[in-house]
Every structure is written in structure tokens, then in C-alpha cells.
Amino acid sequence: MSLETKTDLNLVQEPFPLKKERRGGALNLLLASLILEAGRMLEEGRTVNEVEEASQRAFSGPEGILSFCQRRGFSQIQAYLMYLAGPESEDELRKSYDNFFSLKSNIFSHPVDELTEIFGEEKNLELLDEMTVDLLVRRFWAVAFMVATELVGSRIIDLEQLEEACEQELGWQKGPFALMNQMGIQEAMRLVIEQLEISHRKEINFPVPPLLINQTQVNAPWVIRKQ
């Protein structure tokens, strides 16, 4: 697939040139991982409201993941996710993530008209269970921490550039590395291990990047230099 086609598929603009070319980009790959996790939560029986609220709380952004999908359009979302889940079994993305980006058991593999109906349901009619929402927030954090550290460790994008991209393009209050610093690197790793166990029960790979392992062993915050 040509670079031009990849650009056409993007869910958001990549604000920085990639340091190394790889299927999925950088900011788009991070966003897609959160969309996939939202879809897996819905397949588990979590409600649209729970997932939407948890994704918005996790990153203090202007909208939740599901609202973004509605606004971007389900056809475009599906096209990008199918591109990530494609048959390129020997490329660098698959070597790094194995089947993490698979659409197996994911609501976003459903026909577009079904998705439109599912997400078109009126929101904010139910009382949210705070314990459930908190658990989903932790899962979104874990996915973001895993993918962000893999991207930086694989030299796809600089740490500071990814932080800025999340804040400027996605509207997050803090990028993933600042969030890890806020909660502490040991707690961040604990969330990642919890998510690894959840994913493995579904036979979905959840790689723990060497960069995150090393930072946990050092037990120090990430150094985030201002651009």
C-alpha cells in the first residue's frame, strides 16, 4: 500500500514526520489502539455510556472515543482498523504487536449500519457505576502506556513529540508519559500487567515494551523536555 493511500486512511493528522516508516503511523496507531479497546469493552457487555465516559475521563479530552468515532465516520474507522489488521504478516507492525490489532471479537468488525444503530442510542439515560467506569479508565490508560512506550522505543517518534501530538491533536490534558509520571511508573506498569492478563484471556497479544520495563526497573519518572 502506498504512502499516499496510508495518508488517506489516517484518522487524524500526524503532526510530526515519522522518524522511521512503519504501517499505522504514530498518533494514529495510538488512537486506533484505544478505539479497539473500546470495541472490546462493548463486546464484553459494557454500555456505550460507560465506555464513552471512561475514555473521556482517562485523558480529560474534549470528547470520548465513541463520540470521536461517530464524528469521524464508521466507514473511515473500519477502513483504518482493517488496514492495521491486514495480512502483512511479516512487517514490522505485526512483529511488534502480533495479533493485538486484530478485529477478532471486536464490535468494530460489525457492518457499518449496525454500528450506526448501536451508537445512535440516546446517551446519558443511565446511572453510571463508578467502580466499573474506574476499571475501564485504568484499561484505557494501560493501552495508551503500552503503545506510547512501544512507539518511542521503536524510534517511530520522539517522546516529546508524542506528548505534544496527544495534547494538541487529540486535546488530551496530559500525554501518556506525563500521566505515567503523575501516577508513578510502578503503578503504570501494574496497570499494563493487569491489561496483559485481560488480553491474554481473550488470546490477544499485549506486548510489554522493553523501554517500559527498563524505566520501571530504574524506578524514575520520564524526562519530558519542553519543545
pLDDT digits (tens, 9 = 90+) for 63-113: 999 999 999 999 999 999 999 998 776 799 999 999 999 998 899 999 999
The structure's pTM equals 0.93
User: What pLDDT band is residue 7 in, cutting at 50, 70 and 90?
Assistant: low
What's the mean pLDDT in 13-29?
95
- Which residue is associated with the grid cell 488517506? 8
pLDDT score for 227 = 57
According to DSSP, residue 95 is labeled: H
Q: How far apart are CA 123 and CA 103, in angstroms?
A: 25
The predicted-structure confidence for 135-159, as pLDDT tens digits, reads as follows: 999 999 999 999 999 999 999 999 9
Could you give phi then psi for residue 222, rounded to 5 degrees?
-70, 140
Write down all domains in the chain, each with its CATH number in brackets.
3-12+20-218 (1.10.1040.50)
Percent of the chain with pLDDT over 70: 93
User: Does the structure show a pLDDT above 80 at 51?
Assistant: yes
Q: How far apart are CA 195 and CA 133, in angstroms?
A: 15
pLDDT score for 1 = 41
Three cell numbers written together for 193 = 500487567
CA atoms within 13 A on the CB side of 137: 15
Nearest to 11 by CA among 87, 68, 88: 68
